[in-house]
């Protein structure tokens, strides 16, 4: 039964991709959202002056049209970075590899996200800490990847941040103006871009009404994030019976009394029904939900519910569970 559930659920995420117009996702990461993992590196924030460029890909950004108003890095320690001058610009970049010429990478139409003097940024260890940007970048994936360009001088108080193995181009500890060309290697820092609001997190949330002697209940466990497996399970059903899980995209609130299911409610539309068995304690076989490592699913919302066959419960012999919203994050 578990194998049947996993096969069917791979189809459910194709449906979820089509439903991403309902997304509420507002934070995007390169390469992932784990601020405690990764070698610590002092480029650029531990330097007195630096120019630094790196990319976030279209896939990193979910191939979504969105707005960026904030940029964050994951410090290895805590402190306050200060700079006499700082300039941060975002731009589109076509291609997969940065050259060593900063201005050629940046192109002709960068957007200034921050241009400040006497700047300070407080950062916290093992947490994505936002810099205080003042600009807005409207991102359209068909135009390319996102290039992040950072330039500062007269800096103190910075330190190491967690890095990954992505490309960076940098020039450190110059005086006056940065050089035209930098050094390229693969130690770019982990980053987060967002719309400036608190980041949405993956979660299960119950809603609606249930019916039956129990009444029939549904619950989720684990955090529904991409590249993980979450679990849903019904309980308080009839012992040694049958039923099924419902999967839908829209919440419903349809009274089923007129259909012979007294005080029961249909809590979601029915795009998929997964048969399930209930054991001697009225506990359904759990459904394992593999969530692919696909940023296009980030922000998708799926709704779950279910039913149980119980001939003694009402004239129709069917009870329904409450609803369970599953919100996917990255």
CATH number of residue 96's parent domain:
2.60.120
pTM of the model: 0.75
Final residue before a domain boundary, out of 194, 222, 249: 194
Same domain, 76 and 187: yes
Same domain, 6 and 118: no
- Evaluate the omega torsion of the peptide bond into residue 157 and state whether it is cis, within 30 degrees of 0: no
Final residue before a domain boundary, out of 178, 194, 210: 194
Sequence-distant (≥ 6) Cβ neighbours of residue 329 within 8 angstroms: 25, 199, 200, 201, 202, 203, 223, 224, 225, 226, 298, 299
Overall average pLDDT of the 166-188 stretch: 97
Residue with the bigger pLDDT between 155 and 229: it is 155
pLDDT band at 17 (very low <50, low <70, confident <90, very high): very low
Dihedral sign from CA coordinates of 15, 146, 182, 76:
negative
- Cβ atoms < 10 Å from Cβ of 131: 19
pLDDT band at 315 (very low <50, low <70, confident <90, very high): very high
**Domain total in the chain:** 2
Final residue before a domain boundary, out of 130, 162, 194: 194
Same domain, 36 and 146: yes
User: In terms of residue numbers, what domain contains 100?
Assistant: 27-194
Same domain, 129 and 32: yes
Does position 27 have pLDDT exceeding 70, yes or no?
yes
- What pLDDT does residue 24 have? 55
Residue 142 backbone dihedrals phi, psi, to 5 degrees? -65, -15
Does position 226 have pLDDT exceeding 90, yes or no?
no
Beta strands 318-320 and 203-207 are: unpaired
- Separation between Cα atoms, residue 15 and residue 24, nearest integer Å: 17
Same domain, 67 and 177: yes
pLDDT band at 84 (very low <50, low <70, confident <90, very high): very high
Residue with the bigger pLDDT between 137 and 298: it is 137
Same domain, 10 and 126: no
Does position 23 have pLDDT exceeding 60, yes or no?
no
DSSP per residue, 151-170:
EEEEEES---EEB-S--EEE
Residue 65, Cβ density class (10 Å: 0-12 exposed, 13-18 middle, ≥19 buried): exposed
Same domain, 13 and 143: no
- What pLDDT does residue 329 have? 86
Beta bridge partners of 195: none
What does the pLDDT look like over 35-55, one tens digit per residue? 999 999 999 999 999 999 999
CATH number, residue 223: 2.60.40
Same domain, 167 and 74: yes
């Amino acid at each position: 039964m578990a194998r049947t559930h996993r096969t069917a659920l791979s189809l459910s995420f194709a449906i979820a991709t089509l439903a991403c117009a309902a997304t509420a996702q507002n934070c995007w990461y390169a390469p992932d959202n784990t601020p405690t993992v990764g070698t610590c590196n002092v480029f650029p924030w531990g330097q007195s002056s630096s120019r630094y460029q790196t990319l976030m890909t279209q896939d990193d950004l979910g191939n979504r049209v969105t707005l960026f108003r904030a940029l964050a890095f994951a410090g290895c320690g805590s402190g306050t970075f200060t700079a006499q001058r700082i300039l941060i610009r975002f731009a589109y970049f076509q291609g997969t590899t940065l050259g060593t010429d900063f201005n050629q990478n940046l192109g002709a139409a960068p957007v200034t996200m921050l241009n400040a003097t006497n700047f300070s940024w407080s950062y916290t260890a093992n947490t994505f800490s936002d810099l205080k940007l003042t600009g807005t970048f409207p991102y359209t994936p068909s135009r390319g990847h996102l290039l992040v360009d950072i330039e500062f001088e007269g800096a103190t108080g910075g330190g190491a941040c967690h890095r990954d193995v992505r490309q960076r181009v940098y020039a450190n500890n110059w005086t006056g103006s940065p050089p035209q060309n930098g050094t390229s290697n693969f130690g770019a820092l982990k980053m987060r871009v967002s719309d400036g609001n608190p980041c949405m997190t993956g979660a299960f949330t119950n809603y609606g009404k249930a019916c039956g002697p129990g009444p029939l209940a549904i619950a989720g466990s684990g955090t529904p994030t991409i590249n993980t497996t979450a679990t849903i399970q019904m309980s308080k059903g009839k012992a040694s019976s049958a039923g099924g899980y419902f999967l839908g995209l829209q919440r419903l609130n349809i009274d089923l009394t007129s259909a012979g299911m007294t005080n029961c409610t249909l809590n979601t539309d029915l795009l998929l029904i997964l048969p399930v068995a209930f054991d001697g304690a009225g506990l359904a076989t759990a459904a394992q939900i593999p969530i692919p490592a696909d940023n296009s699913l980030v922000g998708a919302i799926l709704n779950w519910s279910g039913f149980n066959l119980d001939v003694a419960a009402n004239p129709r012999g069917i009870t329904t569970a409450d609803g369970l919203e599953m919100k996917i994050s990255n």
